[in-house]
Structure 1
Amino acid sequence: MKHIFLFVLAGVMFTSCKKFLAEEPNSFLAPENYYKTAEDAFIALTGAYDALGSGSETFIARRLQYLTWYASDEALAPTLAAQKPLDEFSYVADNGDVSRVWNNMYAAINASNIVINRVAGIQMNDSLKTQYLAEAHFLRALCYFYGVRLWGDLPLVIIEVKALSEVDIARSPVGDIYGQIITDLEYAGQHLAPTNQNGRARKGAAKALLAKVYLTRASSVAAQAGDYQQCADLCTEVIAMPQHELLADYEKAIGAEDEFNRESLFEWQGDRTLISSGEHSIFGAFSLPRGMFVIPGQTASDGGSIACEIPYFNKYPDDDYRKECTFYTSGPDKDGNTVTWQQLSVPYPSPAKKYIDKTATTRDAGAFSGNFVVLRLADVYLMKAEALNEISGPTTEAYDMINAIRERARNRDGVNPSATPADLEGLTKETFRDAVLEERVLELGFEGHRWFDLVRTKRLVQTIKAIHPEYPVEDKHLLFPVPANEILLNPKIKQNPEWK
């Protein structure tokens, strides 16, 4: 973490965020000469959002998914040699992707801290100032929530770093990290507006994220009585918000051509027009089916870097609408002949449909790759079903939540509805728990939740061993190792147990 703050000592750099910023800020601005106007505050906030992902490389834009997709039963990396250790559980503490996520996460945290620490003193409209501060609290909480689930104890930095000595600190316990996350999200949930510009946090996002925090903490070493009830209550509040609703057609709930819809709560926005800073999503380009030409101008080398594990793919019933909305299973080859995924040069199912703009007319990766949806309302329904079941078993309301998701899938696109998936009934607390986890597979596949679900339910090891008995996965993989370089730079940081 220490080396990522070096830029602070030379002055703060803010990059242009053309997602919602009309004017480009200056590249380098000394802190003592900055943070004086409402425009300065907005540019600082823009820098915090931009830190979530830039250049298709950093944090949410790419590397976070490498850690969580490949190290679960969801995805594999047939064409990426550097990522195979993640998929095969042979990675070590100096793994490049683990280091990048750690560094980028703390860079984003520091960008949020700059807003929180500096904007409070700017003379500007109080309502606007409060909104900006609430957004920064949301972003900081989001970063720490990813971090506490990936590494457990973390160095807790809530001030703007101005000197390297300020990051020579030990890791704080998981309970303290959760406490800070909850404090930030309570502030954000209280002060954010129900609506906001696309790509920015709003009240429903803060409350939904807080619900997920409580649900996750409930099964952690920091669990507290009432966590499940807090989750259920927040889910109820979000579901009742008139700004959000389950869309009638599952295919419209996530996708490049349907971004920022009423089911979406928060999305990292990958520009679909390449700009000089190269901000775009790689998910569509990397998850294309190699050898199946589904995008105009696609070349033989496109795709195959993010492919679906076959056992995970087989969890989807053939007549479940969500399967055809997630995967390319057949399509034209270079000669126009129809081929199936088994016939591809990289013979794995392709999960590209959630990230490719199917209306695109260009091969440009930045033109057809979609956003990364961090939270959407279907997740809230399933979180509420899970929390209610943990409180008092499968109640009528818990069934209502999960069956609403299944009914939407059953209705398909409104034309020719099917009998699959049928409503659930007659389950025990244990079988309902299993059913919710499997429903999350079908509903939220390749949306960044699977690894976290397997870890918080303590099912990662058994799940991986069931499909890859030869992989050396063990309990230590419930957390990632602290990057080796961080321990060398800061002797106060200790490594996670069993990692070297």
Structure 2
Amino acid sequence: MRLNNSYKKISVWALAFLAMSCTNDFLNVSPQGQQPSEDFWVDGNDASKAVNALYANLHSWNNIAFAPIALESMGSDEAEKGSSPSDATFMNQYDQFTITSTEGQLNGFWQGMYQTINLANQVLGNVPGIDMEAGLKDRFLAEAKFLRAYCYFRLVRAFGDVPLRLTLPQSVDEYNLPRAPKEEVYAAIEKDLSEAAAVLPQTYAASDLGRITKGAALALHAKVSMYQKKWGEVKSYTEQVMGLGYSLFPDFESLFRVENENCSESVFEIQCKRIDNNKGASNSQYSQVQGVRGVPEGGWGFNVPTQELADAFEAGDPRRDATIIFRGETTPEGDAIPETGDNPMYNQKSYVPFSQHVSGYTQGSDQNIRVIRYAEVLLMNAEANMELGNAQAALEPLNQVRARARGNESGILPDVTTSDIAELRKAIYHERRVELAMEFDRYFDVVRQGRGPEVFGKKGFTAGKNELWPIPQNEIDLSGGILTQNVGY
């Protein structure tokens, strides 16, 4: 649902339908199996349905598939289009920085984020008026604030200034909003996360496992602060998370498999579940679009690792083989990858063992999407301490991450010991690159570090332009020119 125009379009359609129904009463048929809107927002059960719908929208196509791959992965040096050369060639425009404002994935990403924001605003606008248990109501509102903040964070780092809608529109004057300065957007994100962290529990019972926690709100707040170079706040928020009982999962490769979802390292995961006899509800395609091509019930092979990424790992680093599926290899789960095919490599973090492919269902319907891991919290803490001049304090969390990767192999990945800030910065940037590879952060990391021309220049990155993606032209047109375009597009 488009932020500035969807409400208007729905209203116009509704009025037209109402006028037609005055003379065609036989058209007034209630939708089958749907709860009428006038009977909704009545009790706690309705509030629960609305919040669950908000969670469910997180794994919709525009939130986790082609559009995020285009905007959040293709600009980096760790991934390229993949699949067959002739399939979805529009992805190359993001990879080579030749993108124009009319390319469709821009609009898909924009719609996906604002649709989730709209669902969050509906919860935040309606649940306060429901007579229900106060503690549960507060938790529902906190979950909605986190998810709204999460989507605005994805928007602001992709586009910069964006329309900021924090309430449901009450009049026609509130439909079409201009872009708000990114500083204002960041302030709204931080307010939502502060309020959410004050309410959300540290843990849940098994029946609610996977819902947003206090740790998730603090960790996302740390990441938002990192993008603004608020290093004191990054240090504070990460230290709070480090005191909540998280730990690194021992086996890096199996960390990403279904059986280890919501483990000790999980801070925030998008929950996915195959619903038997309900293919429409089993709609996460995150793993399918990135899965190995040419195998039974296989994937589409998009968003594949580059040779640059493969070469970035230190000698013997187990994370290389745990991140990249190489053509012709046999995976730890025993799957033989074809020796020939369109792509020499695939993303192993999104990989679904062949034994878990269920005929007729989307590959990866059961596979959660890891968004924030405790390893990233440790690396954010290391970076904050480094930027604050505390080299020794930065080394401990940095080396925790390296030690987990090293395991029992004492001859690899030695501890970082330098106290030189420039060398330490280089080491932390490297560790983020290899630890978080193929997790949709590399492009934005390099941009926030101010290294875009240095790292991506050979791909076509232009300083002063490619730090942001273009505002979708369709949204500018629908706004009647209220929305403006980013520089260079």
Fold shared by both chains (TM-score > 0.5): yes
Give the Cα separation in 2 of the matches to 1:62 and 1:260.
25
Residues 472, 143 of structure 1: CA spacing in aligned structure 2 closer, same or farther, 3 A cutoff?
A: closer
Contact 1:48 1:111 in 2 (8 A): yes
Task: Using the TM superposition, name which of 68-77 and 276-285 deviates more.
Answer: 276-285
> Out of 121, 135, 158, which is 1:150 matched to?
158
Give the Cα separation in 1 of the matches to 2:319 and 2:259.
17
Q: 3-state DSSP class of the match of 2:346?
A: coil
What does residue 144 of structure 2 align with? 136
Contact 2:327 2:343 in 1 (8 A): no
Give the Cα separation in 2 of the matches to 1:258 and 1:4.
39
> Out of 209, 212, 226, which is 1:215 matched to?
226
TM-score by length of 2: 0.86
1:458 CA drift (Å): 1.6
Matches within 5 A, 1:151-190: 151-161=159-169, 165-190=173-198
Contact 1:362 1:368 in 2 (8 A): no
1:420 aligns with 2:407: no
> Which residue identity does 1:475 align to in structure 2?
G
> Out of 389, 401, 405, which is 2:397 matched to?
401
Residues 162, 372 of structure 1: CA spacing in aligned structure 2 closer, same or farther, 3 A cutoff?
A: farther
Contact 2:285 2:364 in 1 (8 A): no
1:61 CA drift (Å): 4.7
Q: 3-state DSSP class of the match of 1:36?
A: coil
> Out of 246, 257, 260, which is 2:259 matched to?
257
What does residue 78 of structure 2 align with? 74
Q: 3-state DSSP class of the match of 1:212?
A: helix
1:484 CA drift (Å): 0.6
Cα deviation per residue 1:272-299 (whole Å; 9 max; x = unaligned)? 45734254333333333435x5xxx246
> Which residue identity does 2:400 align to in structure 1?
A
Cα deviation per residue 1:433-460 (whole Å; 9 max; x = unaligned)? 1211110111111112112211111222
Contact 2:238 2:381 in 1 (8 A): yes
Q: 3-state DSSP class of the match of 2:267?
A: strand
> Structure 1: any 5+ residue segments left out of the alignment?
12-24, 219-226
Matches within 5 A, 1:15-164: 27=34, 29-30=36-37, 32-54=38-60, 57-79=61-83, 80-161=88-169
1:389 aligns with 2:386: yes
1:132 CA drift (Å): 0.3
What does residue 487 of structure 2 align with? 497
Give the Cα separation in 2 of the matches to 1:180 and 1:308.
35
Task: Using the TM superposition, name which of 425-434 and 163-172 deviates more.
Answer: 163-172
Give the Cα separation in 1 of the matches to 2:340 and 2:315.
20
Give the Cα separation in 2 of the matches to 1:5 and 1:382.
42
1:495 CA drift (Å): 1.0
What does residue 477 of structure 1 align with? 466
Q: 3-state DSSP class of the match of 2:82?
A: coil
State the superposition RMSD in angstroms. 2.5
Cα deviation per residue 1:451-490 (whole Å; 9 max; x = unaligned)? 2211111222321224x3xx36443111111111111122
Contact 1:328 1:353 in 2 (8 A): no
1:374 aligns with 2:371: yes
Q: 3-state DSSP class of the match of 1:331?
A: coil
1:392 CA drift (Å): 1.2
1:159 CA drift (Å): 0.6
Give the Cα separation in 1 of the matches to 2:224 and 2:360.
37
What does residue 317 of structure 1 align with? 314
> Out of 203, 216, 225, which is 1:205 matched to?
216
What does residue 308 of structure 1 align with? 305
1:73 CA drift (Å): 1.0
TM-score by length of 1: 0.85
What does residue 440 of structure 2 align with? 448
Cα deviation per residue 1:364-387 (whole Å; 9 max; x = unaligned)? 563545222111100000000001
What does residue 22 of structure 2 align with? none
Give the Cα separation in 1 of the matches to 2:447 and 2:188.
21
Give the Cα separation in 2 of the matches to 1:193 and 1:432.
35
Give the Cα separation in 1 of the matches to 2:50 and 2:401.
39
Cα deviation per residue 1:78-119 (whole Å; 9 max; x = unaligned)? 333232211121111111111111111111111101111110
> Which residue identity does 1:271 align to in structure 2?
K
1:360 aligns with 2:356: yes
Give the Cα separation in 1 of the matches to 2:273 and 2:186.
32
Taking only the aligned residue pairs, the percentage that are identical comes to 29
Q: 3-state DSSP class of the match of 2:273?
A: coil
1:175 CA drift (Å): 1.1
Contact 1:257 1:358 in 2 (8 A): no
Q: 3-state DSSP class of the match of 2:169?
A: coil
1:355 CA drift (Å): 3.4
Q: 3-state DSSP class of the match of 1:70?
A: coil
Give the Cα separation in 2 of the matches to 1:40 and 1:279.
22
Give the Cα separation in 1 of the matches to 2:312 and 2:326.
15
Give the Cα separation in 1 of the matches to 2:329 and 2:75.
31
1:349 CA drift (Å): 1.7
Contact 2:315 2:412 in 1 (8 A): no
> Structure 2: any 5+ residue segments left out of the alignment?
15-31
Residues 277, 298 of structure 1: CA spacing in aligned structure 2 closer, same or farther, 3 A cutoff?
A: closer
Matches within 5 A, 1:272-351: 272-273=274-275, 275-291=278-294, 293=295, 297-298=296-297, 302-331=299-328, 344-351=340-347
